[in-house]
Amino acid sequence: MSSVSSDDVAIVGIGMHEFGRHPGVSGMEQGAIAVRRACVDAGVSWQDIQFAFGGSAAAGAPDTMVSQLGLTGLQFINVANGCATGGSALISAYNMIKAGAYDLGIAVGFDKHERGAFRVNTKSSGLGDWYGASGMALTTQFFGMKINRYMQENNISHSTLAKVSEKAFHNGSLNPMAWRRKPLSEAEVLESAMLSYPLTQYMFCSPGEGGVALILCRADQAHKYSDKPIFLRSAVVRSRRFGSFEVLAPSLSIEHNAGPTVDASQAAFEAAGLGPEDIDVAQLQDTESGAEIMHMAENGFCEHGEQEHMLQMGETQIGGRLPINTDGGCLANGEPIGASGLRQVYENVLQLRGDAGARQVPNDPKVAYTHVYGAPGISGVTILSR
């Protein structure tokens, strides 16, 4: 692994508000709590923060958080990029420090969603209302069609689909910040209500609530704030190419193309000077259990079809060869859109610090990977190291 240079970026403070359902607590209040916890973790005050990037899909404009945190005059820019909103806020903060504009800043994401599946406003997304009315923009249906096709092409079994959820709920039971903390067996997952074949109730995540904040600084100043700084080796977002299969694509092209995850992953590895073989722990987007399976290959951790063996052999469990979604992922935590990508980074910082408690990955992990994917075809990847 190459050394970290003085112009790199370090994460020196992390804060999170518990994910789940929190009646009487607004999404923005959850974000503000996450910010305060991150400041405590870094040993700084809000007045020390020079700039902020924040994102939320359904809980208000993040820059108005200053009314709760303090009117200090800092630069605060709102970010909106679908499920990659949190990751995009982090990338924006990363680039601000890399550019030399500021030394200390924060990325924050939060949300508070209503119950039920995510529903896309297809008219505002460039398609007519007819597309949404047909049900084609209902994410449960899209994900079901996508993984059903993938399972047929790559010999993935229903058992393997269920094992992803079984692992997620086990890991979530070890995570005090997770929403779903009851372990479920493979049989319980398979026998739950069928929502969109082949995906059952416990193979889907739920829209939820929560907030996460990360404090970043110049790498050469990191030890002023933390005894265990974690270095952000790369942070990349990519959009879809023609021919990729996305929820807002009203037709399939004759020419098939990989989704944006492949491009984002390759660019992140190149920027970090690392490869998939260097990763000790990974958090991959798992809005449903099929997504984790597909993303294992798209991020370069295996060939298409090899997931069947890896999951059946327990290779992605906390003690396995490549632990994936050690905090329970979206399946156990739910998905507050603005916070979800930052939750992954929060978990990886804990893992690299050795502070993940009962779900700590063994053998002293040194490099960690996050991946988020969402409509209309956006993917974000980060790589962290000690």
CB 269, CB 370: distance < 8 Å: no
Q: What is the mean pLDDT of residues 114-137?
A: 74
Cα angle vertex 331, ends 327, 333, to 5°?
55
Q: What's the confidence (pLDDT) of residue 2?
A: 45
Condensed to tens digits (0 to 9), the pLDDT of residues 115-125 reads 876 667 777 77
Residues written for the chain: 386
Q: Taking 50 as the threshold, does the pLDDT of residue 375 lie above it?
A: yes
CB 284, CB 343: distance < 8 Å: no
What is the average pLDDT value for the chain, to the nearest integer? 93
Q: Taking 80 as the threshold, does the pLDDT of residue 163 lie above it?
A: yes
The CA distance from 29 to 65, in Å, is 8
Which amino acid, one-letter code, is at 38? A
Q: Give the residue from 315, 309, 310, 374 showing the smallest Cα distance to 344.
A: 374
Q: Where are the domains of the chain?
A: 9-116+204-385
CA dihedral 271, 275, 276, 278 (to 10 degrees): -110
Q: Taking 70 as the threshold, does the pLDDT of residue 149 lie above it?
A: yes
Other CB atoms within a 10 A radius of the CB of residue 162 amount to: 25
Q: What's the confidence (pLDDT) of residue 1?
A: 47
pTM of the model: 0.94
The CA distance from 280 to 19, in Å, is 25
Q: What is the mean pLDDT of residues 123-143?
A: 76
Sequence-separated (6 or more) residues with CB below 8 Å from residue 28: 56, 59, 60, 62, 64, 65, 68, 110
Q: Taking 80 as the threshold, does the pLDDT of residue 228 lie above it?
A: yes
Fold exhibited by the domain 9-116+204-385: Peroxisomal Thiolase; Chain A, domain 1 (3.40.47)
Q: What burial class does residue 227 get, using C-beta atoms within 10 Å of its C-beta: 0-12 exposed, 13-18 middle, 19+ buried?
A: exposed
The CA distance from 375 to 128, in Å, is 16
Q: Report the relative pairing of strands 51-55 and 104-112 from DSSP bridges.
A: parallel
